[in-house]
Structure 1
Amino acid sequence: MPWPLKQTKADMPTVHRRQDELVQTGVDTLDAILARDSGQDGTVWTAGTTLRRRQESSSVMFWKGHVPGYTVDAVKATCYVGCSAVQLANKLKDPTRLREYDATIFGCRIVEEVDVPSFTTIQFWQGVPLFPATAREFCVLTAERRLPGSQEIVLAARSIEHESVPHNAAYIRGEMYLTGFILRPVGKTSCFVTALRHVNMCGTAAPFVGRKADDMVAIAMNLQRLFGKPTEPNDLPATAVAPVSSLQRPAPHEPPPDASTCANCGKDILHGFSRHRCIVCHHVLCGDCARHVVKSKQWQVLRMCNPCAAENVANDQRTPPDKSPVRVQRTTEEIAAQPASQVSPTALLVVCAVASLVVWMEWPGHALVIFTVGLLSLFASIAHSPSGCASSRGELVRSR
């Protein structure tokens, strides 16, 4: 089927359509998220960095995709979850649990149940307000599909206009182009999850409100934390699109905890000698070979072996000295000789502060234009006033 290059509000379904048309829209949304994940609609995905929390074996990888016809990029995160695909799908469809794994959503409620077997519903999502920006809200159409061959489960949603959810002046209605999850079973007790989102936050502070990649990585990590992590993700078969297990970072080598001899001098550290572990090379050494004490905030005594300490000192000595220019204080005569047309740092700071306030308040277009023009006119009149500049310069000289 031909994929549209741009989705506008005219293309969005409304409540005035029949039930079969809404169900068909849900089917099209499921096809669209599968095509966007695989790149069949022209999306070019760029792999990001594999992230892993400390003392956790499972990792999360995020991707950024350029979609033709859109100015906003799509993002997705992939990870293994120690839960079956069927159980995880049932938990993801529960609107009361959306806030548990998605920190960007403050509340969720079902407005209308269009078709229960296909999970075609109309839901209202209210975003978390990030002060001082205005909070976002979304009205979406959800759908579900279970592929018979590969046993994959697809959950998708897109924006929709509904008469029961009118636009609120206190919020900004965002456009959810496409969002959802693709659950690929990997065994009976684990699955590979792809969390994808393509959203336009709208408003003037949209780049600050939508963290995008960070939000998707947090969602994937929350799924692992809430619904379980795989026991041995490296042994799972590579059936998913993104080979996450092959990109995991290996853990640093640590000797066995029952080491009985010093790794440097060979002394018996089990009888009569102190036993320490170097925080750099993780080798077990005696007290004579680990004399360097490292301070910590946890009230613990950490040690560094003598070779690592010597290498650290050598690296510090090879560091080039700071060649930053020395700040020279100006005299009173130099300040008095400044031209009157120079803009003071205080005025520049005030202009930047007011401009950032205008961006974060996200006023309507006409109010923003009027306020900006008036502010620029005021500062232009102050800057071109010779009496004001001379008086301010004279006060500055007298104060010094």
Structure 2
Amino acid sequence: MGAEPLVTVTQVPESVWLHPVLELSAVRENVEAFKEESVAMLLARIGGHGIVPRTWNVGPDKKRKGIQVYWGDVENSEWPAMKTMGRIHASADTCARILTDINMAPRLDKFTRSGHVVHQFDDATDLRYFETHGFMVIDPRDFCVITTSKRLPDGRLAIASRSVTSIDDFGAKVGYSRGQALLTGYLLTPEPKDHANCDVIVYAHVDFGGSIPSSMIKMFGLAAPIKIVEQLQTIAVQVTSAATPSASI
């Protein structure tokens, strides 16, 4: 997770904002551009770029755990976006390792059935395939995404994911509806005076496809990210405790 100069939001082509999901072969032609654009888009969306009419709306919260959800409609998209903020009592690096560990995905999100890495482009970027559980009459979903991590010049850690498509509809299974991660990710900010703590922002803009109307996300899905932050809080403390040598008696 190097700290190279960032691509700015003005350098992200308008076509990418309109069509964030690319064909895998196109990504392979310029993986570096895809990585830089994904991180720049994540930072911009978290900051409110393209959120309409002008700002984030306040959503559900869990105040005793310091977690707050915000939601907003996205320009040129029928699907709303969510960002969820919380404090984690662990370092940003510890949290980044947890969030990028494919085996942690089902623990972080109860709707994730499984996930595996299909191809690794470099130490911080890989192609991932996920399956989710169905819910009542809703079919399970699957996703094919490229995830990349980057340490920003100011010390923050960004983890951004976008779906990709392929000619053979990679990984498609009978009984599953293919969802599209238009842009998802995490932004970890170390506490300036105590790097053993950090703030996390979870961002999600997902096209669930199938028969789910986008309006259902606002009605039933806004509280879901709270559970992810809660799980990260719990897992991060466990990992930190396990790595801390016990004091001698």
Would the TM-score normalized by the shorter structure come out above 0.5?
yes
Q: Distance in 1 between matches of 2:136 and 2:61?
A: 30
Query: CA offsets, 1:110-152, max 9 Å, x none?
Result: 0111122xx211100101111322110000011111012x200
1:145 counterpart = 2:150: yes
Asked if structure 2 preserves the Cα contact closer than 8 Å seen for 1:133 and 1:209, the reply is no
Residues 32-51 of structure 1 aligned to structure 2 (within 5 Å): 32-42=41-51, 44-51=55-62
Asked if structure 1 preserves the Cα contact closer than 8 Å seen for 2:66 and 2:86, the reply is yes
Q: What percentage of residue pairs aligned between the two structures are identical? A: 21
Choose from 187, 191, 194 the match for 2:198: 191
Tell me by how many angstroms 1:168 deviates: 2.2
Counterpart of 1:25 in structure 2: which amino acid? F
SS in 2 for 1:160: strand
Over alpha carbons, which structure has the higher Rg?
1
Tell me by how many angstroms 1:17 deviates: 3.9
Tell me by how many angstroms 1:50 deviates: 3.4
Q: Distance in 2 between matches of 1:128 and 1:205?
A: 14
Asked if structure 2 preserves the Cα contact closer than 8 Å seen for 1:13 and 1:22, the reply is no
The answer for the alignment partner of 1:13 in structure 2 is 23
SS in 1 for 2:114: strand
Tell me by how many angstroms 1:209 deviates: 7.6
Q: Distance in 2 between matches of 1:48 and 1:205?
A: 21
The answer for the alignment partner of 1:226 in structure 2 is 235
Q: Distance in 2 between matches of 1:20 and 1:103?
A: 35
SS in 2 for 1:189: strand
Q: Distance in 2 between matches of 1:156 and 1:217?
A: 19
Q: Distance in 1 between matches of 2:215 and 2:107?
A: 22
Tell me by how many angstroms 1:105 deviates: 0.9
Q: Distance in 1 between matches of 2:59 and 2:176?
A: 32
Q: Distance in 1 between matches of 2:36 and 2:56?
A: 24
Q: Distance in 2 between matches of 1:36 and 1:18?
A: 21
Query: CA offsets, 1:145-204, max 9 Å, x none?
Result: 1012x2000001011124582422321001110111000001221000000100011112
1:24 counterpart = 2:33: yes
The answer for the alignment partner of 1:129 in structure 2 is 134
Q: What are structure 1's unaligned runs of at least 5 residues?
A: 230-400
Residues 282-361 of structure 1 aligned to structure 2 (within 5 Å): none
Q: From the superposition, tell whether residues 112 and 164 of structure 1 become closer, same or farther in structure 2 (CA, over 3 Å).
A: farther
Asked if structure 1 preserves the Cα contact closer than 8 Å seen for 2:151 and 2:158, the reply is yes
Counterpart of 1:169 in structure 2: which amino acid? V
Q: What are structure 2's unaligned runs of at least 5 residues?
A: 1-10, 239-249
Superposed CA RMSD in Å reads 2.2
Q: From the superposition, tell whether residues 174 and 161 of structure 1 become closer, same or farther in structure 2 (CA, over 3 Å).
A: same
Equivalent residues, number: 219
Higher strand residue share: 2
1:69 counterpart = 2:76: yes
Counterpart of 2:118 in structure 1: which amino acid? V
SS in 2 for 1:188: strand
**TM-score scaled by structure 2?**
0.80
Q: From the superposition, tell whether residues 73 and 209 of structure 1 become closer, same or farther in structure 2 (CA, over 3 Å).
A: closer
Asked if structure 2 preserves the Cα contact closer than 8 Å seen for 1:122 and 1:141, the reply is yes
The answer for the alignment partner of 2:208 in structure 1 is 201
Asked if structure 2 preserves the Cα contact closer than 8 Å seen for 1:23 and 1:115, the reply is no
